Chains A and B, each alone.
Chain A
Amino acid sequence: MTGQTDTMMRKFEKVCEIIERYNNDSSKLVPILQAVQEEYRYLPEDVMYYVATSLGIPSAQVYGVATFYSHFALTPKGKYLIKVCDGTACHVKKSIPILEALMKRLKLTEDKMTTPDMLFTVETVSCLGACGLAPVLVINEEVHGLMTPESTIALLDNIIAREEAK
C-alpha cells in the first residue's frame, strides 16, 4: 500500500474518532472542524459533508461556519506552508517586506496564496510566541528567526532546488 493511501485511511478514521469524541453534538461544530482541519490542514468538501451527515445538520450550516472563521481553509494547502508572523514585534522588525518578497518570488496574489504546483502556501499569522527572534517565519513546523527578505528568498530557493532534484 502506498504511503498516501495509508494516510487517507488514517485520516478518515481520525475524523470518525473526532466526531465520536464530541458525541455527534452539533453544538460542537467549531471545535470539531478545528480538529478535522488539524488532520487535513484544510477542510475538504467531502469531509465537511461527512461531518454534516454525522451531526445531522444541513451542509449549508457547516459551510457557513467553515467560511465564517478565517482560520478555516477550504482549499488545500501547499506541501510547504510558510507562515510569516505579523505580530507587533515582527511587524516592527519589518515582516511585511519579507511577505512581499515571498509573494513576488512565488507570483502569489492576495486571493491566491498557494502556488499552482501545490508546493507552497504563504500565510500571515499573528504572533508565533517567538518575539525574541523577530521577525519570524515558520515553514511547516520549523521556525526560522531573525529573517530578512534576502535570507528568506535564499531559504526558499534552497527548497525549490531540493524539490527539483527529486
Chain B
Amino acid sequence: MSNNDKGFVQINGQNVAIEGERNLLELIRKSGIEIPTFCYHSELSIYGACRLCLVDIEGRGLNASCSIKPEPGMKVKTATEEIREIRKISVELLLANHRVECPTCPQSSKCKLEELARKLGITEVRFKKAKLDHPVDLSSDSLVRDPNKCVLCGDCVRYCREIQSIGAIDFAHRGKHTVVTPAFNKDLAKVECVNCGQCAAVCPVGAITVKQDVDKVFAALDNPEKVVVAQIAPAVRVALGEQFGMTSGDIVTGKITAALKKMGFDKVFDTSFSADLTVMEEGTEFLERFTKGEKLPQFTSCCPAWVKFAEQYYPEILPRLSSCKSPQQMFGSLARETLPKMLNVKPENLFIVSIMPCTAKKFEAKRPEFTHENLADVDAVITTQELSRMIEASGLNFMELDPESLDLPMGFKTGAGVIFGTTGGVTEAVLRFAVEKVTGEKLNNVDFHQVRGEAGIREATLEVAGKQVRMAIAHGLKNARKLAEEVKAGKCNYDIIEVMACPGGCVGGAGQPVNFTPGTIKRRAKGLYEADKMLQLHKAQENPYIIETYEKVLDKPGSHKAHHMLHTKYQSRRRISDKGMPLMTGEGTDKLSIKVCVGTNCYLKGSQSILKALTKDIESRGLQDAVDIQATFCFEKCGQAPNVMIGDQLISKCTFDKAREALNAELKKKTS
C-alpha cells in the first residue's frame, strides 16, 4: 500500500499520514506536537470532558481532538489565538476551583495543572475562588485523597473501573458540587479499594497522592539507638534512574546502595533474596498440591492488592491462594528472627525499611497478622519515588555516586528473585525450581520464554517428566477477575495462576516514577531480564545463602518452622457496610436477635428466601415481639454462604430448617 492510500491530515500546514490512530489527538502527538489533556489516557475509554485538547478543524470549527477520528483531507490547526484563549480560560477556571498550595503539595513539579499554567503564561486567575472545604481523606495506609485539588478529569474513576474492575471511587453530586468519592462519602480505607495506587499514578494533579512515609525513615536514621536496615524490591532498581535522567531499565542497584549508606542506613539488603526464599516455599507448596491434585490451581500471593481483591470478591478461592507471605513480609520475618543477634541490636531498636515500587505494600506491612508483640515485621515502606525524594533531600548527587555492593547474607540473590518484579517472573522463577525438582536433572536452559510477554492474560503448558503443567498469568485486576470467575465456575484446568494487580507487574507499580512514555514498562522489564543474565546464578535453590538459611534457621522448605515464619492466612472481607436493615423490631424486652446476611455471596445463595420464610414462620406463630430481625451485609464467611446469625450463633450454609431449629432452641433457652 502506498502512502497515498492511507490518507493524510494536514496539521498546521504539514501533511501527516494516518496510520491507524484512534483519534486526532494521537495523530497530532505523533507528528511531534504536544496537545494538553487532562481527561485523555490511552488505555482508558474516552471521556471528552476537559476540553483542553481543542483543535480547529477547517469547516467544522473547534472540536475535542481526543473524540474525533482522523479523516483523510482534514485540515487542522492546533494553536490558534482562539484556542489559546479558551485553554487559558479553562485552566483559570480549574485554578479557581483548586486548592493551590504548590510548594507543599506532594505532586509539586509533576503536576499537569501547574505545568499548563506555566506553559500558557497564566499570571492571574480572573474568576472568583470557589469555597474549597472538603475534608482531606487520610484514612488509607497507601493513599491521600484531597478532593479540593480534583480537576474532575475522571482518569482515576475510569482506571479503577476499567482496568482494575473495582469502581471504588466515582463521581457524585452534580454541577459545582461534583466530587470524586467512595460510596456515601466514606473513607477510602472503608471501601473496596485494594491500594493498588494506580488512581494516584494517573491523577494529573495532587488530588490522589501516595501517602508519604519518608519522615518516619529520616527519624529512625537520626535516632542513635536505632539500627536501620533496608530491603530493595527488584523493580526499584530498573526505574529509579528515570528520576535522575537515566533511561528506564538502567540497573542502579549499586548506586542505590551507595545512596542509602550515605544516608546512614546500617545495612542494605535485597528483597530478591527473600523472593528466592518465596520460590523455595511456593514451589514446594505447588509440587505438593500438584502431586496430590488438590487446591489447584494454585494462585500466587505475592501481590497484596491481589490478595485483598481475592479476599473481598472471591472468598471461595482463598484456599487455593499460596499460603506464602510476600517477599517483603518474608524478609521482615526473617530479619526480625536473625538480625538482632547478627547485628547485636535489641529487637525493638532494629528498624526495617522496605523500598518498594508499590503502594499496596504500605497497607500490607500494616496488616495485623504481620505485627507481633508490638513489633511490625516491616517498620516503614517507602516507594521508589519517595526514595528519590530522600536522595534529593540528603543533598546527594545520584549520578556521581560510585556503586557499592549489597550486604550479606540477605543481599545475595539469584536471577530468579530478580525477575519477580515483572509479570510472568514469579511463574518462571518457580518453574526453574519445580522442573529441576521433579525431573531430578540439572536444568540447563533456565529461560522460559513462553511465560514472558505483555498480553493481559497469557497461557502456557509445559511438559515436565511426562506430566502437563498448565499455567496462566494475569496482570491488571480485571484480567485476574476473568480467571477467578473461570476457576469459580470450574471452567478451567490450570495448575498455577500468577496474578499481579498492576499492568506490567511490579515494574508498573504506582510507587514508581510517573512515566507515560510508551514502552517504559517494557524497558523496565527488559532491565530485570538483563539483570538476571548478568548474575552468576539463576535458580533460587542454588543461592548459597538460602541453603544456609534453611540449614541454620528454617530446617527445610515447607517445614514446620518455615510455615510458622513464612506463611500466612487469609480472611474473607466482604464487609461493605456495618449497618444492617432493621426489618422487624419486636416490642418485648428480652428479644432474640436474628441477622440474615444479604451480602453478595449470601444473596446469590438464596439468603433472601430464607429471610422470607423465617419471617412468615415467626408471624404465623405470633412470635413477632420476641425477636429483632435485621438484614445485614456480610459476616465475612462468604465461603460458607448463606449465613444467618441467631442469637450469638452463626449458622453457615444455612437453610430454613436449620434456622428454624436454631430459633426454637434459642427461644427455649430464653423461656427456661
Chain B residues whose CB sits within 8 angstroms of the CB of A49 once the complex forms = 576-577, 633
Q: B191 at interface (Cβ–Cβ under 8 A)?
A: yes
- Asked whether A63 lies within 8 Å of B619 as measured between CB atoms, the reply is no
Q: State in angstroms the CA–CA spacing of A52 and B174 once bound together.
A: 21
Q: State in angstroms the CA–CA spacing of A5 and B624 once bound together.
A: 9
Chain A residues whose CB sits within 8 angstroms of the CB of B579 once the complex forms = 45-46
- Asked whether B182 lies within 8 Å of A8 as measured between CB atoms, the reply is no
- Asked whether A9 lies within 8 Å of B172 as measured between CB atoms, the reply is no
- Asked whether A12 lies within 8 Å of B583 as measured between CB atoms, the reply is yes
Minimal beta-carbon separation of A50 from chain B (angstroms): 6
- Asked whether A67 lies within 8 Å of B172 as measured between CB atoms, the reply is yes
Q: A13 at interface (Cβ–Cβ under 8 A)?
A: yes
Minimal beta-carbon separation of A47 from chain B (angstroms): 7
Q: A45-B184, A59-B183, A59-B576 are in contact. Are A67 and B584 (CB under 8 A)?
A: no
Give the residues from 30 to 89 in chain A that come closer than 8 angstroms, CB to CB, to chain B: 44-50, 52-54, 56-64, 67-68, 70
Minimal beta-carbon separation of B377 from chain A (angstroms): 32
- Asked whether B582 lies within 8 Å of A8 as measured between CB atoms, the reply is yes
Minimal beta-carbon separation of A35 from chain B (angstroms): 17
Please report the number of residue pairs spanning A and B whose Cβ atoms sit closer than 8 angstroms: 97
Give the residues from 581 to 610 in chain B that come closer than 8 angstroms, CB to CB, to chain A: 581-587, 598-600, 603, 608
Q: A1-B625, A45-B184, A58-B166 are in contact. Are A64 and B192 (CB under 8 A)?
A: no
- Asked whether B625 lies within 8 Å of A54 as measured between CB atoms, the reply is no
Q: B654 at interface (Cβ–Cβ under 8 A)?
A: no
Which residue from B170, B580, B599 sits with its C-beta under 8 Å from A58? B170
Q: State in angstroms the CA–CA spacing of A104 and B181 once bound together.
A: 34
- Asked whether B577 lies within 8 Å of A45 as measured between CB atoms, the reply is yes
- Asked whether A13 lies within 8 Å of B584 as measured between CB atoms, the reply is no
In the complex, residue of chain B having the shortest beta-carbon distance to the beta carbon of A6: B584
Chain A residues whose CB sits within 8 angstroms of the CB of B584 once the complex forms = 1, 5, 8-9
Q: A45-B579, A57-B167 are in contact. Are A13 and B612 (CB under 8 A)?
A: yes
- Asked whether B183 lies within 8 Å of A68 as measured between CB atoms, the reply is no
- Asked whether A4 lies within 8 Å of B585 as measured between CB atoms, the reply is yes
In the complex, residue of chain B having the shortest beta-carbon distance to the beta carbon of A69: B174
Mask, B299-342, CB within 8 Å of A = 1, is 00000000000000000000000000000000000000000000
Minimal beta-carbon separation of A4 from chain B (angstroms): 7
Q: A16 at interface (Cβ–Cβ under 8 A)?
A: yes
In the complex, residue of chain B having the shortest beta-carbon distance to the beta carbon of A20: B608
- Asked whether B631 lies within 8 Å of A50 as measured between CB atoms, the reply is yes
Q: B349 at interface (Cβ–Cβ under 8 A)?
A: no
- Asked whether B577 lies within 8 Å of A60 as measured between CB atoms, the reply is no
Q: State in angstroms the CA–CA spacing of A115 and B580 once bound together.
A: 25
- Asked whether A56 lies within 8 Å of B585 as measured between CB atoms, the reply is no
- Asked whether A1 lies within 8 Å of B577 as measured between CB atoms, the reply is no
Q: State in angstroms the CA–CA spacing of A120 and B466 once bound together.
A: 78
Chain A residues whose CB sits within 8 angstroms of the CB of B184 once the complex forms = 45, 48, 59, 63
Q: State in angstroms the CA–CA spacing of A45 and B608 once bound together.
A: 19
- Asked whether A60 lies within 8 Å of B173 as measured between CB atoms, the reply is no
Q: State in angstroms the CA–CA spacing of A60 and B166 once bound together.
A: 10
Minimal beta-carbon separation of B178 from chain A (angstroms): 9
Q: B663 at interface (Cβ–Cβ under 8 A)?
A: no
Q: A2 at interface (Cβ–Cβ under 8 A)?
A: yes
- Asked whether A50 lies within 8 Å of B581 as measured between CB atoms, the reply is yes
In the complex, residue of chain B having the shortest beta-carbon distance to the beta carbon of A15: B581
In the complex, residue of chain B having the shortest beta-carbon distance to the beta carbon of A16: B608
Per CB-CB distance, the 6 closest pairs between chain A and chain B, nearest first, are A58-B167, A1-B624, A59-B183, A60-B170, A60-B183, A64-B170
21 contacting pairs across A/B (C-beta < 8 A): A1-B584, A1-B586, A1-B625, A2-B585, A5-B585, A5-B586, A9-B584, A9-B615, A44-B581, A45-B184, A46-B577, A46-B579, A46-B580, A46-B631, A47-B581, A50-B581, A52-B576, A53-B598, A58-B168, A60-B181, A68-B172
Q: What is B's interface to A at a CB cutoff of 8 Å?
A: 161, 166-174, 181-185, 191-192, 576-577, 579-587, 598-600, 603, 608, 612, 615, 619, 624-625, 629, 631, 633
Other A-B pairs beyond A53-B600, A68-B171, 13, CB < 8 Å: A1-B625, A5-B584, A8-B582, A12-B583, A12-B631, A45-B184, A52-B576, A53-B603, A59-B191, A60-B182, A63-B183, A64-B171, A68-B173
